[in-house]
Amino acid sequence: MEKAAEGGIAPAQYNLALLYELGRGVSKDPGKAIALYQKAAQKGHVKAQHNLGTLYAQGRGTPKNYKQAAHWFKKSSAQGLADSMYSLGLMHEHGLGVKKDNKTATAYFNKALAAGSAEAAKKLERAKIVASDQPTKSEIAKASSTTPAAGMAAVNNRTSDLNKAGVAEIQSLLARLDLAPGKPDGVMGKNTVEAIKMYQRFAGLNVTGKATASLLNDLRQVVGAMAPVPANAPATN
């Protein structure tokens, strides 16, 4: 494969980059992976373009560079890769390397859905649920016409705190994201509150530090998309 990669064959460069990225048969080396993905990507290899964008977005093998990530995601998105369309949606949703624009983000999520992205389907469904959970004008009017404690309870009851088991699951998911929430004991201590706030800032959510059902669903979706590649997964072109 190295011989073929040296000969300028894009699929070989991609496959070899994948091996270096994952450490299969060679020592893991994100830097070499980046260099090989770059060569294949410049030849138009769609998966190399996407993986290159991913490494730039994550800062693996190279300093984190969201603009470069968006550049390569756009290249692979233009070739119809659903994962790249979904990634661009996330970048526009959070303003990473591109202008923050929910309409553009939704457009990319819809394109990804049409191209077969299961993650885009979950994202759009989640957006519908969140929209339906927003307090109505009548609920807000009722809240303002009663005592603060009683009135706002009617508006906020849809995002009430979770039970101990739910908090413990949130702590476990935050730990998967290296946000140091402390032990998954279901207790809302200082570390857990700070970890939730950090995640909410990163995800562009309202920063409350509270463990809610909507936060749990959001974390499940994000961490679920981080499933590791199986040890026996072959490198493909």
Structural domain includes residue 28: yes
Structural domain includes residue 154: no
Structural domain includes residue 198: yes
Looking at the structure, tell me whether residues 80 and 172 fall in a common domain: no
- Residue 20 belongs to what domain range? 2-115
Domain boundary residue among 115, 134, 153? 115
Looking at the structure, tell me whether residues 105 and 36 fall in a common domain: yes
Please count the other Cβ atoms lying within 10 Å of the Cβ belonging to residue 193. 16
Indicate the pTM of the whole model: 0.57
Question: In DSSP terms, which residues pair with 212 in a beta bridge?
Answer: 161
Looking at the structure, tell me whether residues 13 and 106 fall in a common domain: yes
Which parts of the chain register pLDDT below 70?
A: 129-161, 204, 225-237
pLDDT at residue 147 in the model: 44
Query: Looking up tokens 């959970």, which residue turns up?
Result: 133
Looking at the structure, tell me whether residues 108 and 18 fall in a common domain: yes
Structural domain includes residue 234: no
Do residues 171 and 215 touch, judged by C-beta distance below 8 A?
no
Please count the other Cβ atoms lying within 10 Å of the Cβ belonging to residue 209. 16
Q: Which of 174, 79, 82 is nearest to 119 (CA)?
A: 82
Structural domain includes residue 87: yes
Looking at the structure, tell me whether residues 7 and 79 fall in a common domain: yes
pLDDT at residue 179 in the model: 84
CATH of the domain at 102: 1.25.40.10
Both tokens assigned to 202: 């990163």
Looking at the structure, tell me whether residues 39 and 110 fall in a common domain: yes
Looking at the structure, tell me whether residues 16 and 95 fall in a common domain: yes
Structural domain includes residue 86: yes
pLDDT digits (tens, 9 = 90+) for 90-130: 999 999 999 999 999 999 999 999 988 888 888 888 777 55
Structural domain includes residue 102: yes
Integer Cα distance of 24 and 205 in angstroms: 37
pLDDT at residue 98 in the model: 94
Number of domains present in the structure of the chain:
2
